[in-house]
Amino acid sequence: MEIINGIHNIRSEHHGNVITMGNFDGVHLGHQQILSTLQQRGEEMGVPSALITFEPQPREYFAGSEVPPRLTRLREKVQVLSDTGLDRLVLLPFNERTARTRPEWITDELFHQMLGAKHVIVGDDFRFGRDRSGNFEMIERVGQELGYSVGRMDTVEHLGDRVSSTRIRAALKAGDFAMATALLGHEYFIMGRVVYGRQLGRQLGVPTANIRLQRYKAALEGVYCVSVEGISVEGVSDDGNNNRPEPLNGIANIGVRPTVDGKEPLLEVHVFDYTGNLYNELLTIRFKRKLRDEQTFDGIDSLKVQIDKDIAEARDWFTTNA
């Protein structure tokens, strides 16, 4: 998948695409249906498939701290999109200038002049441009004038209800990972590079790999059974044939760690029976089962007792579900 980062990087060789546009947070089953249809149409027309998306997401720009948690940060979204077979990802910044953009600029200049749209596919509830004034009917009208066809994707349902990022967030909050996986089409995961922490876990005899969540809210909070991918074996990440080592089991905490006066949301992962140094490793954490909510304890000793209980419960769960 080719990533085109910014309008200034759209070249003449990028002219001619089938296009869709949106947040695609989570790249769930509904998004995957759009991409599958887009790629099929691209093959029929002999042109690449392209997704236009914004960073940050428009609702994050407008809502700030009140925005719902993301399902996928940019790195994770790129990873899932690359697995779908999408040819091109066009990343555009969302800022004050973008928020004022007239919808005609998108349909006429971005779609037609810059990317040479042959066909455009959007969801049935798609809105775009200043004040969300652009819609499917507008794209269809402009497409007829400028020479590109337009297709509408109907809502994808699972068990009678619409597949949506909101529904997936609710499933994750409830600890219903079976439902979240069914709606996403893949297990929920977080990717990140391990950074140095306060070494508190090591002092407690439970060393952790720390992954900062940066400015984004997490869709999860609490303690979980997880599998961890990306840990190298003897310093080698794969065998030269892209065969990664098997995932390792562990336990993870997502939260601000109130017992130790934490402030910044952090993902802490303890990998069972692993003694190596994970600093700077890029890990993929896949969430399997929720053990409990994050709690405030009356001291480090009480925290250590609970961590030991959590580890024992997680090990039992992995043994039962091996």
Domain boundaries, the chain: 2-158, 189-320
Q: Among candidates 220, 221, 194, which has minimal Cα distance to 208?
A: 194
Average pLDDT (121-141) is 91
Asked if residue 15 lies in contact with residue 101, where contact means CB atoms within 8 angstroms, the answer is no
pLDDT in tens, 27-64: 999 999 999 999 999 999 999 999 999 999 888 888 76
What's the pLDDT tens digit per position in 101-113? 999 999 999 999 9
Q: How much is the pLDDT for 244?
A: 57
pLDDT above 90: percentage of residues in the chain: 72
**What percentage of the chain has pLDDT greater than the value 70?**
90
- What pLDDT is attached to residue 294? 87
Checking if the pLDDT of 249 tops 70, the result is yes
Angle at 52 between CA 47 and CA 56, to 5 degrees: 160
List, in order, residues 6 or more apart from 239 with CB less than 8 Å away: none
The packing angle between helices 165-173 and 177-184, to 10°, is 160
pLDDT of residue 62: 86
Topology of domain 2-158, per CATH?
Answer: Rossmann fold (3.40.50)
Mean pLDDT of 208-227: 88
Q: What is the pLDDT of residue 238?
A: 47
**Domain spanning 189-320: CATH 2.30.110.10:** no
**Structure confidence at residue 66 (pLDDT):** 77
Flag whether pLDDT at 231 surpasses 70: yes
pLDDT at 235: 44
pLDDT at res. 182: 98
Per-chain mean pLDDT for the chain: 90
The pLDDT, as a whole number, for residue 204 is 67
| Per-residue confidence (pLDDT) for residue 58, from 0 to 100 | 87
Q: CB-based contacts of 71: which residues, under 8 Å, 6+ apart?
A: 25, 26, 28, 165, 168, 169, 172, 184, 188, 219
The predicted-structure confidence for 251-302, as pLDDT tens digits, reads as follows: 999 987 655 555 678 899 999 998 888 999 999 999 999 999 988 888 888 8
For the cut 50, the answer to whether the pLDDT of residue 237 exceeds it is no
Is it true that 2-158 and 189-320 share their CATH fold? no
pLDDT band at residue 199, thresholds of 50, 70 and 90? Answer: low
Backbone angles phi, psi at 4, to 5 degrees: -105, 105
Tokens of 163: 């597949």
**What backbone phi and psi angles, to 5 degrees, belong to 138?**
-65, -45
- Does 122 have pLDDT greater than 90? yes
- Is this model's pTM higher than 0.85 or not? yes
